[in-house]
Chains A and B, each alone.
Chain A
Amino acid sequence: MMKVEEFQEIRLEIAGWPVNLTIYRLGNEWHAKADNVSPGAALCRATGATREEAEQAVLRRAQELLSRTRRRAI
């Protein structure tokens, strides 16, 4: 049984979209997750041996996904 440690949420912008990045450590493994802020859907998750590894992996994937979203003229 492990406890979540160093839980942190960071707001940033990727490909023009506001994103909420959640990072925490569970034992020796770091977990990162990216959500779009509006509406709040989970985009992707990643794990890594270091915080940077998990964070970079999830940011890369979020960039791929978000850059595909097309805005339309209303």
Chain B
Amino acid sequence: MADYAHPEVLVGTDWVAAHAKDPNVRVVEVDVDTKAFDEGHVPGALAWAWNTQLCDTLRRDILSRQQFEELMSASGVQPDTTLVIYGDNNNWFAAWALWQAKIYGHKDVRLMNGGRKKWLSEGRELSHEVAAVERTRYQAKPPDLSLRALLPQVEEASAKRTAALVDVRSPQEFTGEILAPPGLPETCQRGGHIPGARSIPWGKACNDDGTFKSVADLRQLYAAEGVDGSKPVIAYCRIGERSSHSWFVLKYLLGFDKVTNYDGSWTEWGNLVGVPVERGAAATAAQT
């Protein structure tokens, strides 16, 4: 991990096994819901559900500052707590949580490299107990919205090529062959991708065991599609969680300066009235 631009944002499963119950460490499993957590989890971990605790449930949005403070307070987190997040799907939803923690200025937040899958495959202990925590009065910082892309920025990036648009969905979603990952509900009116986007599926950043690839491999992966950090990057997927994962790679493992996550993603763009989409494979990087 030492070669990554910011190795401090990543910990291995050995580190978690040794430190999960340290007083200043809070480990949280994050998934779309808590079903996996309920089957058994890292001893000492808490659970956050993406669909109810990491999104505003009344408007489509990330948590407000007040909601984020409530989540942290209820989880016994202090501003100086080392927050270690992991989850299923190679940390998709964990990366979403980390992204919001960074937006609200939490100083020390890390992903467990390889996520739940690696913990299970290593035959480590699982617990059914939910850790008791003492409530805190967490105060978040004002949101750093330089980490987030909203629709106007994406429209400009698409029209003027002011930023590299990275579509991290599967190749079939990118071309428009399918409207959602196989087996999941279709949540958009049209298939395809944002004009000008490059297809770099999130999974290409990972090894078979779920851990992140080396810096050299990651640099080569993105450079092959013309994404080298020389201009801002906007990552997107369907609902913004896979793109949080790629945002993490680009921002902290490769150290690109201006990287944003477009959490509106395809469920916003693919449902908009009066905006174009592209279908089929992308042009080569040299043509854009």
Contacts and interface: CB of A to CB of B under 8 A. Distances in A.
B202 A39 contact: yes
From DSSP, what is the main secondary structure of chain B's interface residues?
loop
B39 A47 contact: yes
B40 A2 contact: yes
Contact of B123 (A3, A31, A68): A3
Interface in B121-180: 121-127, 169-173, 175-180
B29 interface: no
Nearest to A73: B177
Given A3-B126, A74-B175, A66 B182 contact: yes
A31 B183 contact: no
A interface bracket (residues with beta carbon within 8 Å of B): 20 to 34
Given A2-B40, A71-B178, A38 B171 contact: yes
Judged by DSSP, the binding face of A is: strand
A37 B244 CA distance: 19
Contacts of A17: 182-183
A41 B126 contact: no
A40 B126 contact: no
Interface string A39-74: 111110101000000000000001001101111101
B203 interface: yes
B89 interface: yes
B169 A4 contact: no
B198 to A, nearest CB: 16
Nearest to A62: B183
Contact of B176 (A31, A35, A74): A74
Contact of B203 (A3, A39, A45): A39
A7 B203 CA distance: 21
B43 A45 contact: no
A46 to B, nearest CB: 10
B201 A3 contact: no
Given A2-B40, A69-B182, 20 more contacts: A3-B124, A3-B126, A7-B121, A7-B123, A22-B117, A26-B39, A26-B126, A36-B182, A39-B169, A39-B170, A39-B201, A39-B202, A39-B242, A40-B202, A43-B183, A45-B36, A65-B183, A66-B183, A72-B191, A74-B191
Interface of B: 31-32, 35-36, 39-40, 43, 88-90, 117, 120-127, 169-173, 175-184, 186, 191, 201-203, 242, 279-280
**Top 6 A-B pairs ranked by shortest CB distance?**
A65-B183, A39-B170, A38-B170, A17-B182, A36-B182, A41-B181
